[in-house]
């Protein structure tokens, strides 16, 4: 194997614990070739957690496997701490990997499972014993070393899988949907444990793959949204939540309603008046929104209000099409008279107050949503674009005018049922 020698293309890579640099990956089977990643660039600094968030089939696991070394990219390079590792096999990358299905060796006891990577590295016996104890302690499983995997619950098996990944003291930890196989109660507990674990690994870069936005919000410093093999909107978690730069991200993260609006006026440097049919709302304004321009107001279900009065300058008349009680809130779906193609979802606190067919008014409180560009090209798997580059994303983020109360919205987890 040749000693890798190529240099990353950007100068600012020295501080990146992980750099996937413009990765393409095609799955090849015989003569058929399926594109799974296109121009994906991912950076993670030591001590930081990046969540790859996206729908099933968007390429998240493929990206993780390229980083782990299980798949060789069709184009692009992989760097760890600035060193090109593209040609190194998985075992020589020093990366800990945890997958959804635990993948424990069924015939090996817990401590032998955890010791596996250490024995493969031919570490001395006393070091192995010490590291296994340390790793099991990190996940609260010290008492379970002599059990077989089948004698453990799903949550316990996943903890052992995490301990096995930690035992090699990796500088990079990869977690592929580690909570997906657990039932909902276990998931909550494990999420809290992952938060603790992360706090105890201040120098480890973590790539956390999930399709669940609540997990991404709870764990990640940055989120990269995957869509059809592309990384569309990499950004700090907080920024992405408050100012989603694209319609796709706005609807995927927080389930925002996407309401077409026009910019009616830009009275000063920091505000915009947006119009939906006859109703008008005031929004903060970011750069370069001209009056008359189409835009999309991304507004999350919890931020809208239903009123019994149907008129008023900031009320849209509508009709209830469904109401589902979900415990703390009722999800009401309404058809707005002025927007025949759109169903708007609203979370009303408490039990059902409106019946299907009721006439209601929708009040969009000032500062309750985010303006996103109406005409930003939505990347897909067939039309390459620069959407994964950092520069494009920054511009997109700046182009989104945040309606100001978004800043005072509750913490992200409180927003997600």
Binding residues for ligand ADP (CB under 6 A): 27, 34, 36, 54, 56-62
Binds 58: which of Mg ion, ligand ADP, none (CB < 5-8 Å by kind): ligand ADP
Specify the DSSP element, H or E, that contains 115.
helix 110-120
Can you list the positions of beta strands (E) in 202-247? 205-210, 222-227, 230-231, 235-236
CB nearer to ligand ADP: give 28 or 146: 28
Taking only Cα atoms into account, the Rg of the chain, rounded to an integer number of angstroms, comes to 24
Residue 57 Cβ vs ligand ADP, minimum distance, rounded to whole Å: 4
Distance in angstroms (rounded) separating the CA atoms of residues 51 and 58: 14
CB nearer to ligand ADP: give 152 or 209: 209
CB nearer to Mg ion: give 61 or 222: 61
Residues lying near Mg ion in the complex (CB under 5 A): 61
CB nearer to ligand ADP: give 54 or 373: 54
Classify residue 402 by its DSSP letter.
B
Residue 61 Cβ vs ligand ADP, minimum distance, rounded to whole Å: 3
Binds 54: which of ligand ADP, Mg ion, none (CB < 5-8 Å by kind): ligand ADP
Binds 400: which of Mg ion, ligand ADP, none (CB < 5-8 Å by kind): none
Residue 25's contacts (CB-CB under 8 Å, 6 or more residues apart) are: 35, 36, 37, 59, 62, 66, 71, 73, 74
Binds 59: which of Mg ion, ligand ADP, none (CB < 5-8 Å by kind): ligand ADP
CB nearer to Mg ion: give 61 or 213: 61
CB nearer to Mg ion: give 61 or 237: 61
Q: Give 130's strand partners.
A: none
Binds 157: which of ligand ADP, Mg ion, none (CB < 5-8 Å by kind): none
Give me the residue whose beta carbon is nearest to Mg ion.
Answer: 61
CB nearer to ligand ADP: give 64 or 197: 64
Distance in angstroms (rounded) separating the CA atoms of residues 405 and 303: 10
CB nearer to ligand ADP: give 52 or 161: 52
CB nearer to Mg ion: give 131 or 211: 211
Residue 295 Cβ vs Mg ion, minimum distance, rounded to whole Å: 34
Residue 149 Cβ vs ligand ADP, minimum distance, rounded to whole Å: 24
Binds 36: which of Mg ion, ligand ADP, none (CB < 5-8 Å by kind): ligand ADP
Classify residue 80 by its DSSP letter.
E
Binds 98: which of Mg ion, ligand ADP, none (CB < 5-8 Å by kind): none
Residue 185 token pair? 């109660």
Binds 368: which of ligand ADP, Mg ion, none (CB < 5-8 Å by kind): none
Hey, how many other C-beta atoms are within 10 angstroms of the C-beta on 71? 19
Classify residue 290 by its DSSP letter.
P
Residue 14 Cβ vs Mg ion, minimum distance, rounded to whole Å: 31
Distance in angstroms (rounded) separating the CA atoms of residues 189 and 186: 5
Residue 176 Cβ vs ligand ADP, minimum distance, rounded to whole Å: 7
Of residues 72, 62, 123, the one with CA closest to residue 93? 72
Residue 93's contacts (CB-CB under 8 Å, 6 or more residues apart) are: 68, 69, 80, 85, 172
Distance in angstroms (rounded) separating the CA atoms of residues 366 and 376: 24
Distance in angstroms (rounded) separating the CA atoms of residues 7 and 179: 36
Binds 62: which of ligand ADP, Mg ion, none (CB < 5-8 Å by kind): ligand ADP
Residue 60 Cβ vs Mg ion, minimum distance, rounded to whole Å: 5
Residue 252 Cβ vs Mg ion, minimum distance, rounded to whole Å: 16
Residue 209's contacts (CB-CB under 8 Å, 6 or more residues apart) are: 51, 52, 60, 61, 63, 64, 174, 175, 176, 177
Binds 57: which of Mg ion, ligand ADP, none (CB < 5-8 Å by kind): ligand ADP
Residue 46 Cβ vs ligand ADP, minimum distance, rounded to whole Å: 25
Q: Give 268's strand partners.
A: 271
CB nearer to ligand ADP: give 40 or 304: 40
Distance in angstroms (rounded) separating the CA atoms of residues 325 and 182: 25
User: How many angstroms from the chain centroid is the CA of residue 351?
Assistant: 30
C-beta separation of 47 from 203 below 8 A: yes
Residue 216 Cβ vs Mg ion, minimum distance, rounded to whole Å: 14
């Amino acid at each position: 194997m040749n000693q890798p020698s190529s240099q990353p293309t950007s100068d600012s890579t020295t501080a990146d614990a992980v750099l996937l640099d413009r990765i393409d990956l095609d799955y090849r089977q015989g003569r058929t070739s399926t594109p799974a990643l296109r121009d994906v660039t991912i950076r993670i600094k030591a001590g930081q957690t990046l969540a790859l968030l996206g729908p099933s089939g968007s390429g998240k696991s493929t990206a993780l496997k390229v980083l782990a070394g299980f798949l060789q990219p069709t184009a692009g390079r992989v760097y760890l701490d600035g060193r090109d590792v593209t040609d190194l096999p998985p075992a020589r990358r020093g990366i800990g990997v945890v997958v959804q299905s635990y993948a424990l060796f069924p015939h090996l006891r817990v401590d032998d499972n955890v010791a596996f990577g250490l024995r493969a590295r031919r570490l001395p016996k006393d070091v192995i014993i010490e590291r296994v104890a340390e790793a099991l302690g990190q996940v609260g499983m010290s008492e379970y070393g002599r059990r077989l995997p089948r004698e453990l619950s799903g949550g316990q098996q996943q903890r052992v899988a995490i301990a096995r990944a930690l035992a090699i003291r990796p500088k990079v930890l990869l977690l592929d949907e580690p909570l997906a196989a657990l039932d909902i109660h276990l998931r909550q507990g494990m999420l809290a444990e992952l938060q603790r674990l992360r706090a105890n690994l201040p120098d480890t870069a973590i790539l956390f793959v999930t399709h669940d936005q609540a997990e991404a919000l709870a764990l990640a410093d940055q989120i990269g949204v995957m869509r059809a093999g592309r990384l569309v909107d990499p950004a700090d978690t907080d920024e992405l939540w408050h100012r989603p730069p694209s319609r796709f991200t706005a609807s995927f993260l927080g389930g925002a309603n996407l309401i077409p609006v026009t910019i009616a006026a830009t009275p000063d440097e920091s505000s915009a008046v947006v119009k939906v049919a006859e109703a008008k709302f005031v929004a903060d304004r970011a750069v370069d929104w001209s009056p008359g321009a189409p835009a999309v107001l991304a507004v999350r279900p919890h931020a809208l209000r239903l009123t019994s009065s149907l008129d008023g300058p900031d009320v849209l008349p509508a009709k209830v099409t469904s109401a589902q009680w979900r415990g703390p809130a009722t999800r009401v779906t309404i058809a707005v008279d002025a927007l025949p193609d759109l169903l708007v979802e609203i979370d009303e606190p408490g039990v059902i107050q409106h019946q299907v067919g009721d006439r209601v008014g929708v009040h969009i409180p000032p500062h309750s949503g985010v303006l996103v560009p109406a005409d930003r090209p939505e990347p897909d798997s067939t039309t390459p674009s620069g959407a994964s580059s950092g520069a494009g994303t920054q511009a997109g983020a700046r182009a989104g005018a945040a309606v100001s109360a978004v800043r005072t919205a509750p913490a992200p987890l409180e927003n997600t049922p």
